[in-house]
């Protein structure tokens, strides 16, 4: 890592988030990796485990402009991208940008929105721009979306289609805290109060250079071989509707690189790949029978795939 | 192999190895090709060296065809034609050196290495001695080593264009000795196959290198002319002329006169052969065994590009493709362009031509007019003392005259010398009365002229005399330096008799060889011990000739007969031998294709794998998906000693750095570290 103070601040930022989200170091690290890799994060869990608090904390800590969008079933796309309103004084329509015109969007309970509304956000996520009234407007950079989602079997939800789930780089779930951590949580200060006291640790320029570092991480031939072997294995895995796409492969590579940066390395290791593999596969691997796609199965699947692929193939140097 | 890898650039190390090997591969060309061709080739290779060293730009494309044209023009101008094996080999050398100029990527390198091996093979068309074999093998080993260097560069199969430069960084150290051993091993693996093919592969009656060439090589050796100094020059040449194995008895050195060209014509200075002298001897004059003195022997003749087969007098049994000339010289149908072996029986006691026909008698007495008046007077005086007798079969006086001339050589101050003074117009006069110092050709020539002046038919015979008997190999080695000239006189009823005037001046020349006559060395690198060494080392060459060079179609059929395969046709034998070989190769290929991942070619992977294997033997359990850190974690959990735990983590760190980071770690350091850590861990584990 070239800039030690930057790395130090990155660690501080993680520490600050960990203060609020106790006992979820790994999830927090994954969230940071997702941001460093320049992707959007999906937090998937039952209500009340701190999804929103995590998103909130991240937003403040990163020091970006941010806005929260609470998805509801009666929400319209205009509520997200903005609307043009007729101004009598100037006899013209003036565009009022919606909450999407922020660097960090917290899309809370995204699966409560109707598909039409969801797609408005997802389009912005894919293109980094929105088109309103035939005019294309660039979104501010960097642009992150942290979406939270309730498990699919919860009442009143519209499940995101596969193609749109693929727009999210990583998905994390928080789960219940460990007993010790939970006791700490119960004894500690109220989260709302703590949130108000938070200050930004990183700046926008920091994020840009961290993202650049992530792109510059060295990925050796051996590593790429391993990564490719994982992708191949997922495609040949029995019982899967489809394996990991090349886009998912690139995503895996970038996320692993981000983990390397977070570990203070300028080269990527197989353990980095293994570290994010589950988060990457969780919302991407789909069972062919489509009924038993519970979290447990996805987790088990990705673990099985990981276990089946050798880290170091015997001979990568065949020519 | 995909196209991208073929066109990958080369490391300078690989280029250096390859160019060095090619340079060494092209050096034997000095012995075979004219210097113009060699200079051109070496210049091309040198250019590539400099190109590498100074990082010059590659040659522009328009220059390359020009270079080819220059190369071809050089070839044509030096040989005057574009046909023949020597020219083809020279063209191969030229093309190889031109290819070296555009050595840019791996494909070029492989092509060049193959060309180098091919070039090394073509040398055997011209030089078939054991030294060339060793040198040829050296070339092959070096080229294999270059390919090794090329191969061991970590060049990925999956690299995309933008990743290439960073991936090429991992050029590992090529361990010199172990790399060499692996190259030697490749040759060793090929050896049994080579031997089998050597023995059983159907042979041409004439080997490829036996094809006569359009141009003679200008080899040194006896010629069909003799002038003062010509044999003396041969004396400087230590190369073997032929080797002889005696099957019956071995005559003493003083009887070993190996007959070569018989010279009749004398122009006052130069002796030359007679066209009629090459005629086949009439059948009634063919020698026959008359006594028990006959000698059977086998001669192994080095290539001379001449048709003469050397033999002792008088050849009774001769090789099928040869004939005896009127001078009783053995004459082959084809020039001897490759080493050949022939068996001969000679009968020394045979009386060749009791009656000399008029024409030949006239030629054996012919002298140019106006030469050597003093010698002529001297002989006339001598003739008065021993007048010609009648009838002609009464030859007592002739013999007395011959003896007195020989005595004259013996009594007067004549010297056997390597550096005789130059002779002028009346060469015999000057030699006889003035300089009195010369080599065998001076004595033979002078004696023959004197005989002709006295009216006794005489001629000069050139050939070799004596030889070195190799006790260990039980054969006689005759070198070019054993070249000799002697005289023959014809006496009525007794035929041609050998008279060697040199023996009167320097008897030790005949008894023990020319080397012993002179106490001073011939040149600065002429030492007795060196000569001894050479004489003894010749044994290797002798065996080589016996077992390799002489392995002909005939010997092959003998071996096959002994193996019980004599009745099968050559095609069947080839099939029987080649089929299993091809099947083995095919099976091996299939096996390797299927299980190629079992053993990694990457030494670092092998080292790490054996580390894991040893740990598993010690009771640790790993899964294939365990990365280095997981392994270290699992290992350190069961260890107590801080040092061994640190060692386990050090391995993890090194593996990660070696395989995944940009940092270049030498393979040697890596192997040492892994091995050292392993022993620490195992010691702790107990």
CA distance B9 to chain A (A): 14
**Do A180 and A96 sit in the same domain of this protein?**
yes
Q: Which residues of chain A have pLDDT under 50?
A: 1-2, 293, 314-319
* Closest by Cβ to A315, choosing from B155, B596, B661: B596
**Do A206 and A265 sit in the same domain of this protein?**
no
Residue A149: per-residue pLDDT: 82
Residue B95: per-residue pLDDT: 93
Cα dihedral B639, B640, B641, B643 in deg (nearest 10): 50
Cβ separation of B625 and A311 shorter than 8 Å?
yes
**Do A254 and A268 sit in the same domain of this protein?**
yes
Cβ–Cβ contact A172 with B under 8 A? no
Residue B667: per-residue pLDDT: 81
B70 part of a folded domain: yes
Contacts of A318 in chain B (CB under 8 A): 157, 596, 601
Cβ separation of B660 and A269 shorter than 8 Å?
yes
Residue B71: per-residue pLDDT: 92
Cβ separation of A314 and B609 shorter than 8 Å?
yes
Contacts of A264 in chain B (CB under 8 A): none
Distance CA B243, CA B156 (A): 58
The DSSP line for chain A is ---HHHHHHHHHHHHHHHHHSTT-HHHHHHHHHHHHTT-EEEEE--TTSSHHHHHHHHHHHHT--EEEEE--TT--THHHHEEEEEETTTTEEEEEE-TTSSSEEEEETGGGS-HHHHHHHHHHHHHSEEEETTEEEEPPSS-EEEEEE--TTSSS--PPPHHHHTTEEEEE---PPPHHHHHHHHHS--HHHHHHH----S-HHHHHHHHHHHHH-B--HHHHHHHHHHHHHHHT-TTEEE---HHHHHHHHHHHHHHHHHTT-SB--HHHHHHHHHHHHTTT-EETTSS---HHHHHHHHHHHHHHS-SS-S-S---
B541 part of a folded domain: no
Cβ–Cβ contact A307 with B under 8 A? yes
* Closest by Cβ to B627, choosing from A219, A270, A308: A270
**Do A16 and A142 sit in the same domain of this protein?**
yes
- Residues ≥6 apart with Cβ < 8 Å to B245: B297, B298, B300, B474, B475, B476
Task: Give pLDDT tens digits for B71-100.
Answer: 999 998 888 877 777 888 999 999 999 999
**Do A231 and A161 sit in the same domain of this protein?**
no
The residue among A191, A216, A241 that closes a domain is A216
Backbone angles phi, psi at A269, to 5 degrees: -115, 160
The model's pTM: 0.49
**Do A225 and A211 sit in the same domain of this protein?**
no
209-238 of A, contacting B, C-beta below 8 A = 218-225, 228
* Token pair listed for A99: 């909450």
The residue among A201, A216, A231 that closes a domain is A216
**Do A210 and A241 sit in the same domain of this protein?**
no
The residue among B174, B190, B211 that closes a domain is B174
How many domains are contained in chain A?
Answer: 2
Residue A152: per-residue pLDDT: 60
Longest dimension (CA), chain A: 75
Distance CA B88, CA B73 (A): 14
Q: B85 with B211: CB under 8 angstroms? A: yes
Residue to substitute from B627, B655, B665, interface A, most A β-carbons within 10 A: B627
* Bridge partners, residue B499, by sequence: B487
Nearest to B103 by CA among B13, B10, B6, B27: B10
**Do A57 and A155 sit in the same domain of this protein?**
yes
Residue B26: per-residue pLDDT: 93
**Do A16 and A162 sit in the same domain of this protein?**
yes
**CATH no. for residue A245?**
1.10.8.80
First-to-last CA distance in chain B?
Answer: 47
Supply the angle between the helices B642-660 and A221-235 in degrees, to the nearest 10.
80
Residue A180: per-residue pLDDT: 85
- Rounded to the nearest angstrom, the gap between the alpha carbon of residue B481 and the centroid of all alpha carbons in its chain is 19
* Closest by Cβ to B625, choosing from A224, A228, A309: A309
* Token pair listed for B64: 């390359």
**Do A139 and A223 sit in the same domain of this protein?**
no
B45 part of a folded domain: yes
B572 part of a folded domain: no
Q: A244 with A281: CB under 8 angstroms? A: yes
**Do A74 and A172 sit in the same domain of this protein?**
yes
**Do A208 and A81 sit in the same domain of this protein?**
yes
Q: Domain residues for A313?
A: 217-319
Task: Give pLDDT tens digits for B245-301.
Answer: 998 888 888 889 999 999 988 888 889 888 777 788 877 777 777 677 888 999 988
The residue among A160, A183, A216 that closes a domain is A216
Residue B280: per-residue pLDDT: 82
* Closest by Cβ to A221, choosing from B159, B596, B628: B159
Question: Considering just the CA atoms, what is the radius of gyration of chain A in Å?
Answer: 20
Residue to substitute from A257, A270, A278, interface B, most B β-carbons within 10 A: A270
The residue among B114, B140, B174 that closes a domain is B174
Residue B97: per-residue pLDDT: 94
Q: Domain residues for B138?
A: 2-174
**CATH no. for residue A96?**
3.40.50.300
Nearest to B312 by CA among B272, B252, B356, B264: B252
How many domains are contained in chain B?
Answer: 2
Half-sphere exposure of A93 (CA within 13 A, CB side): 10
The residue among B150, B174, B198 that closes a domain is B174
B554 part of a folded domain: no
Contacts of A270 in chain B (CB under 8 A): 627-628, 660
CA distance B45 to chain A (A): 27
Contacts of A311 in chain B (CB under 8 A): 624-628
Residue to substitute from A304, A308, A316, interface B, most B β-carbons within 10 A: A316
Q: Which residues of chain B have pLDDT under 50?
A: 1-4, 154-173, 211-218
Cβ separation of B157 and A309 shorter than 8 Å?
no
* Closest by Cβ to A221, choosing from B156, B624, B629: B156
């Amino acid at each position: 890592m070239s800039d030690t103070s930057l790395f130090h601040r990155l660690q501080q930022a993680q520490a600050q988030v960990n203060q609020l989200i106790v006992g979820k170091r790994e999830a927090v690290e994954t969230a940071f990796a997702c941001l460093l890799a320049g992707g959007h994060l999906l937090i998937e869990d039952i209500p009340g485990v701190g999804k929103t608090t995590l998103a909130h904390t991240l937003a403040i800590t990163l020091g970006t402009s941010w806005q929260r969008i609470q998805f509801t079933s009666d929400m319209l796309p205009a509520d997200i991208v903005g609307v043009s309103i007729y101004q009598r004084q100037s006899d013209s329509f003036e565009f009022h940008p919606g909450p999407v015109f922020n660097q960090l969007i917290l899309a809370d309970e995204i699966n409560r929105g109707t598909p039409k509304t969801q797609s408005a956000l997802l389009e912005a996520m894919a293109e980094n721009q929105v088109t309103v009234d035939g005019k294309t407007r660039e979104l501010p950079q960097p642009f992150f979306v942290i979406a939270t989602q309730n498990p699919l079997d919860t009442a009143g939800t519209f499940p995101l289609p596969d193609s749109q789930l693929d727009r999210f780089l990583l998905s994390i779930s928080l789960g219940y805290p460990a007993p010790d951590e939970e006791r700490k949580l119960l004894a500690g200060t109220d989260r709302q109060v703590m949130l108000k006291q938070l200050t930004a640790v990183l700046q926008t320029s920091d994020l840009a250079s961290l993202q650049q570092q992530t792109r510059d991480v060295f990925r050796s031939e051996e590593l790429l071989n391993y990564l490719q072997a994982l992708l191949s294995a997922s495609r040949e895995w029995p019982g899967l509707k489809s394996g990991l796409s090349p886009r998912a492969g690139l995503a895996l590579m970038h996320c692993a690189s981000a983990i390397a940066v977070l570990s203070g390395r300028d080269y990527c290791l197989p353990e980095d790949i293994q570290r994010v593999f589950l988060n990457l596969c969780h919302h991407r691997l789909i069972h062919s029978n489509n009924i038993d796609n519970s979290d447990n199965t996805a987790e088990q699947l990705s673990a099985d795939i990981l276990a089946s692929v050798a880290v170091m193939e015997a001979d990568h140097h065949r020519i | 192999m995909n196209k991208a890898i073929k066109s990958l650039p080369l490391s300078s190390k690989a280029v250096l190895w390859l160019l060095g090997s090619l340079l060494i591969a092209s050096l034997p060309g000095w012995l075979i090709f004219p210097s113009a061709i060699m200079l051109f080739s070496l210049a091309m290779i040198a250019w590539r060296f400099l190109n590498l060293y100074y990082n010059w730009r590659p040659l522009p494309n328009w220059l390359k065809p020009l270079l080819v044209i220059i190369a071809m023009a050089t070839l044509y101008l030096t040989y005057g034609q574009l046909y023949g094996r020597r020219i083809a080999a020279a063209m191969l050398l030229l093309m190889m050196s031109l290819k070296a100029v555009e050595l840019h990527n791996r494909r070029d390198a492989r092509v060049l290495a193959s060309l180098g091996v091919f070039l090394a093979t073509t040398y055997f068309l011209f030089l078939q001695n054991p030294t060339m074999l060793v040198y040829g093998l050296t070339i092959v080993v070096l080229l294999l080593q270059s390919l090794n260097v090329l191969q061991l560069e970590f060049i990925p199969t999956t690299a995309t264009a933008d990743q290439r430069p960073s991936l090429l960084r991992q050029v590992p150290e090529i361990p010199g000795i172990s790399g060499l051993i692996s190259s030697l091993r490749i040759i060793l693996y090929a050896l049994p196959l080579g031997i089998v093919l050597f023995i059983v592969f159907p042979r041409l009656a004439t080997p490829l290198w036996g094809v006569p060439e359009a141009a003679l090589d200008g080899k040194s050796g006896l010629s069909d002319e003799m002038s003062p100094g010509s044999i003396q020059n041969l004396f400087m040449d230590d190369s073997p002329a032929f080797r002889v194995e005696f099957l019956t008895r071995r005559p003493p050195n003083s009887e070993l006169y190996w007959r070569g060209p018989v010279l009749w014509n004398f122009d006052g200075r130069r002796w030359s052969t007679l066209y009629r002298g090459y005629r086949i001897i009439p059948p009634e004059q063919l020698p026959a065994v008359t006594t028990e003195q006959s000698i059977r022997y086998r001669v192994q003749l080095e290539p001379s590009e001449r048709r003469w087969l050397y033999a002792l007098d008088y050849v009774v049994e001769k090789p099928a493709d040869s004939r005896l000339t009127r001078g009783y010289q053995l004459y082959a149908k084809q020039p001897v362009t490759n080493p050949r072996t022939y068996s001969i029986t000679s009968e020394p006691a045979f009386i060749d031509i009791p009656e000399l026909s008029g024409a030949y008698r006239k030629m054996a007495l012919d002298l140019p007019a106006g030469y050597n008046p003093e010698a002529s007077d001297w002989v006339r005086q001598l003739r008065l003392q021993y007048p010609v007798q009648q009838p002609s079969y009464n030859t007592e006086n002739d013999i007395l005259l011959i003896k007195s001339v020989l005595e004259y050589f013996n009594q007067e101050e004549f010297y056997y010398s390597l550096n005789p003074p130059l002779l002028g117009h009346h060469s015999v006069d000057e030699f006889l009365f003035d300089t009195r110092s010369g080599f065998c050709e001076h004595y033979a020539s002078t004696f023959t002229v004197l005989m002709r002046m006295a009216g006794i038919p005489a001629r000069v015979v050139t050939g070799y005399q004596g030889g070195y008997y190799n006790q260990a190999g039980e054969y006689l080695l005759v070198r070019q330096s054993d070249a000799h000239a002697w005289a023959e006189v014809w006496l009525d009823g007794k035929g041609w008799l050998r008279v060697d005037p040199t023996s009167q001046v320097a008897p030790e020349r005949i008894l023990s060889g020319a080397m012993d006559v002179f106490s001073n060395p011939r040149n600065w690198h002429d030492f007795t011990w060196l000569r001894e060494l050479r004489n003894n080392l010749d044994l290797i060459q002798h065996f080589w000739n016996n077992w390799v060079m002489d392995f002909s179609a005939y010997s092959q059929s003998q071996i096959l007969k002994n193996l019980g395969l004599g009745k099968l046709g050559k095609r069947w034998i080839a099939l029987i031998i080649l089929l299993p070989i091809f099947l083995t190769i095919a099976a091996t290929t299939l096996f390797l294709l299927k299980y190629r991942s079992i053993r990694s070619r990457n030494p670092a992977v092998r080292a790490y794998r054996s580390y894991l294997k040893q740990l598993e033997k010690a009771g640790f359990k790993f899964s294939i998906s365990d990365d280095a850190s997981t392994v270290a974690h699992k290992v350190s959990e069961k260890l107590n000693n801080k040092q061994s735990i640190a060692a386990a983590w050090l391995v993890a760190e090194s593996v990660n750095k070696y395989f995944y980071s940009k940092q270049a770690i030498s393979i040697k350091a890596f192997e040492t570290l892994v091995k050292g850590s392993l022993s620490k861990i195992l010691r702790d584990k107990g």
